[in-house]
Structure 1
Amino acid sequence: MQACRNDQRHVWLLSGTGEGPVLVAALVAQGWRVSVSVVSASAAGAYAGLSLEDLWTGPLDGVEGILGVLDQARDRHQGFDWVVDATHPFAVKISTDLQRACQEFAQPLLRFERPMEGCGEASLIGSSADLARQTLQGSRLLMALGARHLGQAVRAARQAGAQVFARVLPSPESLRHALASGLPEHHLAVVRPLQGQSHGELESALCRRWSITAVVCRQSGGVTEQLWHKICRQQGLGLWLISRPQPCVAVEAIGSVKSLLNRLSTNPLAPLC
């Protein structure tokens, strides 16, 4: 028989800077205690001023690391009612590790999935390696990808005859990956996305400055992908989208904040008294 709980309901949210702060605000407003995990210190800054139980920064060290967090939470405060995976759609490893750990721990898990944007005029490819099979002679491509994936994309685009440029995040890791990709420094822009007086101001300026003819980004949904669709339409640029990985069918996925709040309230880990 389940033990009766008189503590406030508790969610562990794994997210980034996109939907994460919005989800936290909505959960807190509904009376939930929220602990958050993010990858980097810069991502943690997006949660400043929000009422959190815990804010953990850094990698979770696989399934064993996740099990350690769940076990510690059970010892400290009877555990989490729910774990919510709101990580990036391309963060396949952490989502897979979460599914395995939560299944082993009998921990309720939900996936908050960004809605899929329509492709519009964009061309969909399976991976950046597919660029090597395209006709890109004379093209000037802007890579709007995570820096860890830049090397493969640069090699493939150059093989197809394109000149390659990239915007990367202002972090030591991103800079290391960008420089290792073989791009010259004057083909790199170190910027934080969505900065400026209006969203897209810096990105639009980069496209004009470098006379970009096409952009390569991931089919991640959210404001960043929407922005590239908009810029490419406005400037008459091509857009290559790297297709989103298929979600894990074993995890229930929710696509809106309202639906998430409703689902969390229907099946708590133990009845509240």
Structure 2
Amino acid sequence: MHRPDMHQDCRHQSGRRLWLVAGTGEGPELAERLLTLGWQLTVSVVSAPAALAYRPHSELTLRVGALGGEVAVEAELVAAASSGRPYSVVVDASHPFACQVSRQLMAGCARQRQRLLRLQRPTLEGPATLLPALETLRAVPLAGQRLLLAIGARQLAAAVALSPSALHHARLLPSVSSLQQAMAAGLTAERVACLRPGSALAVERALVRRWRINTVLARQSGGSTEQLWRRICCTEGLNLLLLCRPQEPAGLESLDAAALLATLAGWTPPRP
């Protein structure tokens, strides 16, 4: 499920152990707050670059790699319990569009009767055109528009095919896979930018100015990336299209950041 060579294992026993599945968005700040509250953390991230956002701590274990499916999630919970150090709670702070991750966590936790909490990102306000699905991009008038695709590499080819009258540009993560998918979608090298998450506002603004972008297609993530594109589009007078956030699985216990931290601050381990 994870690459063991990337672990920073905790050494102490405690009844307040938590498995946090996150990334580079709210994950690092949430981890810091939970450590302050006295929790021992196992934090799962997808890639080694994402792990760099987490400050080393004696009570923090970092694990890098994909979850590996429902069976692997369940195996992680069983292994923790078998070692005498079970998780008190699992927190799903994965990206709102990482639907598969949330489903895997929910299924694995349900089978092991493990408490699972979902971090619910806020719904941001401001001018934007919401697209219920990527397919609805076909109906948006984009003839002659210089369109910046900021939706990741997986849906890049589909977005290009659904907006044939636009001049496409892409803002992607710096990975070989992302570049390969951009080239396969027909974008030329001079219309692709590879930047890490959390790039400075000035860098992103310079990018849209250099390319003379008219319209940005991003995702309704509810996080810092959506905030960034909202701000840039507002100040630069650009049209903002947002892919609607997927619905959370039914029955998932979702809490905003404040409610989640309040719940975990008052957590009392069950008596043996």
**Same fold, TM-score > 0.5, yes or no:** yes
The 1-side partners of 2:174 and 2:22 are apart by 20
SS in structure 2 at match of 1:65: helix
Aligned AA (2:198): L
How far the C-alpha of 1:60 sits from its partner, in A, is 1.3
Q: Counterpart of 1:89? A: 96
SS in 2 for 1:70: helix
Counterpart of 2:182, as a letter, is A
Q: CA deviation at 1:50?
A: 3.8
Cα distance per residue 1:51-74 (max 9 Å; x no partner): 444211111111001011111111
Are 2:187 and 1:183 aligned? yes
What is the Cα-based RMSD across aligned positions, in Å? 1.6
* Structure-2 change in CA distance of 1:268 and 1:107 (3 Å): farther
Q: Could you say if the C-alpha distance between residues 9 and 231 of structure 1 is closer, same or farther in structure 2, counting changes exceeding 3 Å?
A: same
Partner of 1:17: 24
Following TM superposition, the consecutive aligned residue runs of length 4 or more in structure 1 with deviations greater than 6 angstroms are none
Task: Say if 1:82 and 1:269, in contact at 8 Å, map to a contact too.
Answer: no
Counterpart of 1:89 in 2: which secondary structure? coil
Structure-2 change in CA distance of 1:201 and 1:131 (3 Å) = same
- Residues 52 and 267 of structure 1, relative CA distance in 2, 3 Å threshold: closer
Match of 2:170?
Answer: 166
Given that 2:24 and 2:197 are in contact with CA atoms closer than 8 Å, whether structure 1 keeps it comes out as no
Specify the alignment match of 1:233 in structure 2: 234
One-letter amino acid of the structure 1 residue matched with residue 163 of structure 2 = A
Residue in 2 aligned with 1:262?
Answer: 262
* Distance in 2 (alpha carbons) for counterparts of 1:9 and 1:126: 40
Give 3-state SS (helix, strand or coil) of 2:225's partner: helix
For 2:124, the equivalent position in structure 1 comes to 117
Q: Per-residue displacement from partner, 1:89-137 (whole Å, max 9, x unpaired)? A: 000011011111101000000001111112x221000222211122111
Q: Which amino acid aligns with 1:149?
A: Q
2:56 match: 49
- Identical columns (%): 42
Distance 2:84 2:32 in 1: 22
CA contact (8 A) 1:218 1:225 kept: yes
The counterpart of 1:139, out of the listed 145, 148, 155, is: 145
Length-normalised TM-score, structure 1: 0.91
Q: Counterpart amino acid of 2:155?
A: H
Match of 1:46, SS?
coil
For 1:88 and 1:51, the matched residues in 2 are separated by: 26
Aligned to 2:6: none
Please give the per-residue CA displacement for 1:138-176, whole angstroms capped at 9, x wherever unaligned: 111001111111111111122xx1111001111122222
User: Which letter maps to 1:270?
Assistant: P
The alpha-carbon deviation at position 42 of structure 1 amounts to: 0.8
SS at match of 2:124: coil
Q: Is the 8 A contact 2:74 2:108 kept in 1?
A: yes
Tell whether the 8 Å contact from 1:25 to 1:50 is kept in structure 2 after alignment: no
Distance 1:25 1:155 in 2: 42
Q: Secondary structure of 1:22's match?
A: helix
How far 1:264 moved relative to its partner? 2.5
Alignment partner for residue 38 of structure 2, among 31, 34, 39?
31
- Residue matched to 1:3: none
Amino acid at match of 1:271: R
- Match of 2:103, SS state, is helix
Structure 1 unaligned residues grouped into runs of 5+: 1-5
TM-score normalised by L of structure 2: 0.91
Deviation at residue 261 of structure 1 after TM alignment: 2.3
- In the TM superposition, residue 271 of structure 1 has moved relative to its aligned partner by 3.2
Equivalent residue pairs, number = 260
Question: 2: CA distance between counterparts of 1:11 and 1:213?
Answer: 44
Local SS of the residue matching 1:178? helix
Q: Is the 2:120–2:254 Cα contact (8 Å) retained in structure 1?
A: yes
Aligned-partner SS, 2:169: strand
